[in-house]
Every structure is written in structure tokens, then in C-alpha cells.
Amino acid sequence: MVKEVINLIVKGGKANAGPPIGPALAGKGIAINDVVKEINSKTAQMADMDVPVKVTIDTDSKSFEIEVGLPPVSALLLKEAELSKGSGAAGLKTVGALKIQHLIKVAKLKYEKIGGKSLKQKVLELLGTCKSLGLRVESKDPKELIKEVKEGKYDKIIEEEKTELTPEELQKLKAERKAIAEEVSKLEAAEAAAAQATATAATAPQKAPTSAPKKEEKK
């Protein structure tokens, strides 16, 4: 029995028979549409995220197995924050918000891939990533929260591995995210207006300098 392994990166829940799957599986003797269907089924909960997928093909029986990996930590955090991208100005512009439960959830998903021996240490690592992505955690700058986690303020919730939010927490988080989105929208509008003004000034015709009138010479 000979097995061939093909590694792919696909959009969660949106794989199709085109590139990269189609060309990679062409001529392997397996039904590409069946592969696509199974991949989409297994990646449905990671919609629109770049997901690593391993397709193992038995070249004798023409059967296959699908093994789905996990996206990068940053992508998982952005998904929890319901964002498609992070801040383009880390430390200067906040674009989203998370709760400590979201970090616990991601830390458990990527446990072996995150530095630190304990769940608490892994949460601390994720707080650093949140800082670079422009995400608040518990309505605070991640740098401030790192200090609080180290001091033990969140030990109980981390030890209990809580990943669910109460209705009250969820309601407050939604309000916070709405406020942040409004601030980001205003900031981006101001930046666009400033860029437009700069471009207009750069392309405006330059007036020739007016020369001073010559003084009449005394005779």
C-alpha cells in the first residue's frame, strides 16, 4: 500500500475544485468533488480563515483521508474578535475587544503551539499577540492585563478553563465593540480627508512669486 500526502491551505468552508485543490489532486484517481465536500464539512466552523489541510491518498485503493489543522493564533484571535484584520498601527489604534475567556479558548485550541508550560503562561503569550493586533482584553490595554494576570487576578477563571460568556458579559462586549468600531470609522474618515487634502495641495498649480516693484533712481 502506497500513500501520498498532499498539504494544502484552503479557505474554511469555501473550498472548491479550482486551485489549489484541483491541480494538486488532478490525476490521483480520486473524486475531487468528494474531497472538497469533506474539507468544507470539516472546516465549516473556520469560515473564511486560511486553514491547513492534509490529504492522504491511498494510491492502490484510491481512497483518501482528510486531516484539518488549525489557523495561526492571530487568525483565531481575530475570529473571536469578529474581525477580518488587525490594527495597522499596533499600540496606537484599537480595532476590537476580547474577554479573557476568548484567550483561554484559543490557548486550549493551540495548546502545543503556544509558548509556556501552563495555561496561564499561554494566556500571557496571547496577550502579547492581542497588543500587536490592536485588541483590548477585558476593556483594557493588553499590557495592563498582563500585569493583572501575573498578579493572579484571573487565576480562578483560568484554572476553571472557562470559555463561555454570561449574557451580561456578552451584552457589554457587544456595546464595547460597537463603540470601538465607531471610533475606528471616525479615525479612518479623518485620515482619508487628510490624505485627500495633502494630495490636492501637491497637485495644485503653483503661483509664480510676485517681484517687488523697482525703486526709481534719483537723478
What span, in angstroms and rounded, lies between the C-alpha atoms of 44 and 39?
8
What span, in angstroms and rounded, lies between the C-alpha atoms of 179 and 77?
19
Radius of gyration of the chain (CA): 27
**What value, to the nearest 5°, has the Cα angle with vertex 38 and ends 33 and 44?**
120
- Other residues' Cβ atoms within 10 Å of the Cβ of residue 108: 13
**What's the confidence (pLDDT) of residue 218?**
57
**What's the confidence (pLDDT) of residue 53?**
94
Cβ atoms of 3 and 56 within 8 Å: the answer is yes
Residues of each domain in the chain carrying CATH 1.10.10.250: 73-191
What span, in angstroms and rounded, lies between the C-alpha atoms of 39 and 55?
9
Cβ atoms of 2 and 35 within 8 Å: the answer is no
Cβ atoms of 7 and 52 within 8 Å: the answer is yes
Residues of each domain in the chain carrying CATH 3.30.1550.10: 3-68
**What's the confidence (pLDDT) of residue 1?**
64
pTM of the model: 0.74
Of 3.30.70.100, 3.30.1550.10, 3.60.10.10, 3.40.50.20, which CATH number belongs to 3-68? Answer: 3.30.1550.10
List per-block mean pLDDT (blocks of 10 residues) for the chain, which spans 219 residues. 89 91 92 94 86 92 92 92 86 91 94 91 96 95 96 96 95 96 90 86 71 59
**What's the confidence (pLDDT) of residue 207?**
64
DSSP H or E stretch at residue 91: none
**What's the confidence (pLDDT) of residue 213?**
60
CATH code at 73-191: 1.10.10.250
Helix, strand, coil percentages, rounded to 5, for the chain: 50, 15, 35
What span, in angstroms and rounded, lies between the C-alpha atoms of 91 and 169?
25
Cβ atoms of 2 and 60 within 8 Å: the answer is yes
Residue ranges in the chain assigned as alpha helix (H):
21-25, 32-42, 73-80, 100-109, 119-133, 142-150, 155-159, 167-203
